[in-house]
């Protein structure tokens, strides 16, 4: 009995592993998705090691010329390979250090967005009735409270730090995965294996997490990935408007200082690193998501 059990578990693992392999192969064949995967890997590397390999302290250190004068708005040189800011700071160091807050907000914001949305969608779709009604009206409410204005409003009163920002993002963005997961659950709920699980006496909890959840997990992952991109975009936008964490350097904050100092006309070396960083990461997530969407959802439903 136990031998049989472990054999079937082994088989299960093997089929799962080969499924994962097929999906990775699929992504590797989609040229844009493959390039995106490489971009994301480098971003992950920057987020983890960026602050460590940054040659200087990003905020306090000022680049000095040979005769000891602070170099302001200087194009790339040996001393500052990506030039300096209007305040004489090293752009390369700010770029490297700025990857981490971007990564943290993106990762945690995305996971929270996907996680909450997944749970709400699962419970709402599985139970239906008044539970569904209440939860769906709640998502309608977060849809009708506009994200950007509400976030700005809250952040004028609460001193922004990356955790508060992550929290606000998750509080407003879980509605997207919730709706999509719910509609998937609605169709899976009616399938035979779910009905027979319930008929054989499995509890609601068990049916929901053991039988329904695994089948909507791919959609949950997909929207978690999208959540990462939304969080990064939202964090950068808030920082650009001056509602970022004032104690750390982030790519959004770099762009704010650039814009506010009026140096955008000349300092291309200051614009490009953070701008391309954000654009590359968010675009990559979406391109991978799109390729992935075609595997898990061959009929390609609309985005409602």
Partner 1 sequence: MSEFQRFLAKRIGISVLLTLVAVSVIFFTLRLLPGSPFTQLVASGNLTEQQVREIMQLYGLNRPLSEQYLAYLRNLLTFQFGYSIRQSRPVWEILGPKLLNTLVLLIPALVCTAILSTLLGMVAGWNRGSWLETGSIVTTTFFRSTPVFISALGFIIVFAYTFNLVPAFGMRDITVTPNGVGAYFSIDFLHHYILPFTVAMLYYSGDFLLLARNGIVERKGSAFLKLHRAKGLSETEQLWRAGRNSLLPVLTYFALRLGMVFQGLILLEVVFGWPGIGRQLVTSIAQQDYPVVQAAVFLMALAVIIMNLVADVLSAYFDPTVSMGGGN
Footprint of partner 1 (CB under 8 A)? 31-32, 128, 132-133, 136-137, 140-141, 143-150, 152-154, 156-158, 229, 233, 236-237, 240-241, 255, 259, 264-265, 268, 271, 275, 278-279, 282-283, 285-287, 290, 299-304
Nearest CA to 237 among 114, 155, 143?
Answer: 155
Q: CA triplet 36, 40, 42: central angle to 5 degrees?
A: 120
Answer yes or no: are the C-beta atoms of 272 and 8 closer than 8 Å: no
Q: Whole-number minimum distance, CB 300 to partner 1, in Å?
A: 4
CA distance 140 to 123: 16
Q: Whole-number minimum distance, CB 47 to partner 1, in Å?
A: 18
Answer yes or no: are the C-beta atoms of 136 and 130 closer than 8 Å: no
Q: Whole-number minimum distance, CB 241 to partner 1, in Å?
A: 6
CA distance 35 to 56: 30
Q: Whole-number minimum distance, CB 55 to partner 1, in Å?
A: 26
CA distance 278 to 280: 6
Closer CB to partner 1, residue 44 or residue 150? 150
Closer CB to partner 1, residue 60 or residue 137? 137
Closer CB to partner 1, residue 60 or residue 265? 265
Q: How far is CA 110 from the centre of its chain?
A: 4
Q: Whole-number minimum distance, CB 163 to partner 1, in Å?
A: 18
Residues making up the chain, counted from first to last: 304
Closer CB to partner 1, residue 204 or residue 294? 294
Q: Whole-number minimum distance, CB 278 to partner 1, in Å?
A: 6
Closer CB to partner 1, residue 72 or residue 290? 290
Question: Distance of CA 161 to CAs 136, 183, 245, 247, 256, Å?
Answer: 30, 35, 4, 8, 16
Closer CB to partner 1, residue 54 or residue 255? 255
Q: 3-state class of 12 per DSSP?
A: helix
Closer CB to partner 1, residue 15 or residue 156? 156
Q: Whole-number minimum distance, CB 198 to partner 1, in Å?
A: 19
CA distance 176 to 241: 24
């Amino acid at each position: 009995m136990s031998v049989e059990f472990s054999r079937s578990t082994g088989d299960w693992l093997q089929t799962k592993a080969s499924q994962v392999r097929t999906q990775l192969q699929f992504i590797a064949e989609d040229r844009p998705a493959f390039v995106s995967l490489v971009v994301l890997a480098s971003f992950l590397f920057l987020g983890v090691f960026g602050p460590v390999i940054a040659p200087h302290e990003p905020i306090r250190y000022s680049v000095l010329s040979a005769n000891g004068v602070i170099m302001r708005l200087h194009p790339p040189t040996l001393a500052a390979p990506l030039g300096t800011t209007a305040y004489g700071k090293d752009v390369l160091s700010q770029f490297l250090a700025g990857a981490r807050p971007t990564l943290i907000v993106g990762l945690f914001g995305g996971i929270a967005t996907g996680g909450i949305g997944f749970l709400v969608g699962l419970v709402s779709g599985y139970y239906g009735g008044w539970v569904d009604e209440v939860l769906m009206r709640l998502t309608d409410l977060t849809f009708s409270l506009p994200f950007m204005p509400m976030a700005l409003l809250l952040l004028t009163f609460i001193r922004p730090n990356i955790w508060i920002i992550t929290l606000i993002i998750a509080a407003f963005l879980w509605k997207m995965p919730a709706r999509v997961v719910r509609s998937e659950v609605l169709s899976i709920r009616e399938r035979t294996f779910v009905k027979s699980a319930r008929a054989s006496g499995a509890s609601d909890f068990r049916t929901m997490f053991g039988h329904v959840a695994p089948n909507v997990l791919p959609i949950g992952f997909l929207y978690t990935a999208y959540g990462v991109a939304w969080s990064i975009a939202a964090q950068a936008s808030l920082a650009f408007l001056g509602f970022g964490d004032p104690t750390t350097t982030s790519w959004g904050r770099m762009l704010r200082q650039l814009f506010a100092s009026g140096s955008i006309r000349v300092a291309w070396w200051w614009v490009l690193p953070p701008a391309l960083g954000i654009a590359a990461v968010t675009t990559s997530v979406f391109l991978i998501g799109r390729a992935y969407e075609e595997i898990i959802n061959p009929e390609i439903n609309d985005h409602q």
